[in-house]
Amino acid sequence: MRTEMYDVIVVGAGPVGQNVAERSRAAGLSVAVVERELVGGECSYWACVPSKALLRPVIAIADARRVDGARAAVTGRISADDVFARRNRYVTDYDDSGQADWIGSIGADLVRGNGRLDGERRVAVSSSDGERLLTARHAVALCTGSNAVLPDLPGMAEARPWTNRTATDSVTVPDRLVVVGGGGVGVEMATAWQGLGSMVTLLARGPLLRRMEPFAGEMVAEGLKEAGVDVRIGVSVTELRRPDPSGPVGISLDDGTQLEADEILFATGRSPRTEDLGLETVGLSPGSWLDVDDTCTVRGVDGDWLYAVGDINHHALLTHQGKYQARIVGDTIGARAARQPLDTEPWGAHAVTADHHAVPQIFFCDPEAAAVGLSSAQAEQAGYRVRAVDVRFNEAQGANLYADGYQGRARMVVDLDRETLLGVTFVGPGVSELLHSATVAVAGEVPVPRLWHAVSCFPTISEVWFFLLKAYRS
């Protein structure tokens, strides 16, 4: 077995692993990046990128239909083949050579194969080319992401359900699609496949987007219904049947209802990709989420050499959060290697900020739902004295110019003791581009009186900020 030494070993070459590698290289450290699938990971090929490539044509048509004059120009159906071709273009036809070349361009080595911990600072890599043992002088960063979870139901195996991977790489449109799950993946895929021509039924045990303000899920549910989706809340699947592999799926619900679909998609949660990572060789439990501190250093492992970054630490299963963590980790590794105090690093000094109270998230359904920080209920549960301020977007002329009869709602949650924002939620067409302004306000703890001087351009959807602040002052 070949043995090679690097300063840093990164296991997983998705966006998170790439950012760890880049920041570690910027600190002058040698880096090996291990990847068993496509360089670029889940986000690039089966999640964020392909899902948005599928959704954008659907949302563009929906937006056009909200504008007098443009509405008349929308005729016929969306070309699914052209949308699939667009998706394939954005996932580079599932060819990762460009991202593999990028790893080489920053001076890191790409090692293809299955990487597993093999004791302290050691990673064993197995591939068709044989076995290699990599050792790290300073750090090993685990950036392996998460898998879709399928519930344990009778008939699951024979039903051959879709997960997010099938839902984003399919090249055919099922006539009837059942989507199980009311989270982000569920509402986005219901939006996309309904727009591409499927008759979609969305099943959820509880409110949609339940971690957001309640009105967000309610408005998204109404939007889906208006688009033609059969939305059923408060139901669960109890059994699946697909005796003919090429036939439909029979679905039993706990309310006694029977459904039939050509395909069924489960969007019911994620589990960490740690079951085959060699965690037992360093005293950790395989298959578990990894407990980390604010620098993403794994707790329970001596020596501050092991990091868990992105989904597998369970802080926030979002690509942008994983990349944010990765930048912190790369700078932390560099500082520790140089024996510098961590608080001198640009990211490490404030690592806690965006991982705990300023996490932004957007769901690209119709209408879009975007939020950062705490909901009003979460803030109250955390012990803050708060005031929630709500406005409708139709008060802003910019929103009405964006879409005739614009329907949207915004809420900001104010910490009354400090008079800063704890959270902001927007729901409506095009609100995704508003969220970063809210994220800056929450992460920066900008005083509400100071926000009054951040003037929104007229006439834009962002005028909603003026109406939120005006409502707060009244």
If asked whether residues 15 and 108 sit together in one domain, one would say: yes
Q: For residue 31, is it within any domain?
A: yes
CA distance 457 to 470: 16
Q: Give the number of domains in the chain.
A: 3
Average pLDDT over residues 115-127: 97
**Is the same domain home to 436 and 446?**
yes
Average pLDDT over residues 271-288: 97
Domain presence at residue 80: no
Binding-site entries: 52, 115, 144-146, 181-188, 269, 311
181 shares its domain with 311: no
Whether residue 102 is contained in a domain is answered as yes
Q: What is the pLDDT of residues 209-262, one digit of tens each?
A: 999 999 999 999 999 999 999 999 999 999 999 999 999 999 999 999 999 999
The sign of the torsion formed by the CA atoms of 228, 229, 233, 235 equals: positive
What is the torsional sign of CA 392, 394, 398, 402?
positive
pLDDT at 349 over 50: no
The Cα-based distances of 61 to 230, 231, 366, 429 in angstroms read 20, 21, 11, 12
Q: Are residues 346 and 375 in the same domain?
A: no
Q: Residue 261 maps to which CATH number?
A: 3.50.50.60
Do 312 and 334 sit in the same domain of this protein?
A: yes
User: What's the chain's length in residues?
Assistant: 474
> pLDDT tens-digit profile of 281-334?
999 999 999 999 989 999 999 999 999 999 999 999 999 999 999 999 999 999
Residue 109 lies in a domain: yes
Give a yes or no: residue 65 inside a domain.
Answer: no
HEC profile of the chain: CEEEEEEEEEECCCHHHHHHHHHHHHCCCCEEEEECCCCCHHHHHHCHHHHHHHHHHHHHHHHHCCCCCCHHHCCCCCCHHHHHHHHHHHCHHHCCHHHHHHHHHCCCEEEECEEEECCCCEEEEEECCEEEEEEEEEEEEECCCEEECCCCCCCHHHHCCECHHHHHHCCCCCCEEEEECCCHHHHHHHHHHHHCCCEEEEEECCCCCCCCCHHHHHHHHHHHHHHCCEEEECCCEEEEECCCCCCCEEEEECCCCEEEECEEEECCCEEECCCCCCHHHHCCCCCCCCCECCCCEECCCCCCCEEECHHHHCCCCCHHHHHHHHHHHHHHHHHHHCCCCHHHCCCHHHCCHHHHCCCEEEECCCCEEEEEECCHHHHHHCCCCEEEEEEEHHHCHHHHHHCCCCCCEEEEEEECCCCEEEEEEEEECCHHHHHHHHHHHHHCCCEHHHHCCCCCCCCCHHHHHHHHHHHHHC
Q: Quick check: is 113 in a domain?
A: yes
Same domain (yes/no): 160, 252:
yes
Which one of 222, 248, 268 terminates a domain? 268
- Among candidate residues 243, 268, 293, the one where a domain is terminated: 268
Q: Tell me the whole-structure pTM to 2 decimals.
A: 0.95
Decide if pLDDT at 70 tops 60: yes
Cis peptide before 248 (omega within 30 of 0): no
Same domain, 425 and 290: no
CA neighbor of 314 nearest in space, from 375, 346, 359: 359
The last residue of one of the domains, among 245, 268, 291, is 268
CA Rg, the chain, in Å? 24
- Domain with 22, as residue range(s), is 2-40+96-147+271-354
Residue 220 lies in a domain: yes
What is the distance between the alpha carbons of residues 35 and 138, in angstroms, rounded to a whole number?
A: 20
> What is the band of 129 on the pLDDT scale with cuts at 50, 70, 90?
confident
Binding site, annotated residues for FAD:
52, 115, 144-146, 311
Q: Does residue 203 fall inside a structural domain?
A: yes
Spatial distance between the Cα atoms of 390 and 446, rounded to a whole number of angstroms: 19
Confidence of residue 474 (pLDDT cuts 50, 70, 90): confident
Q: Residue 188: its pLDDT value, please?
A: 98
Residues 231 and 194 grouped into a single domain: yes
Average pLDDT, the chain: 95
Q: Are 246 and 321 found together in one domain?
A: no
Task: Label residue 340 by pLDDT band (50, 70, 90).
Answer: confident
pLDDT at position 353: 53
Residues forming the annotated binding site for NAD(+)? 181-188, 269
pLDDT (tens digit, 9 = 90+) per residue, 154-181? 999 999 999 999 999 999 999 999 999 9
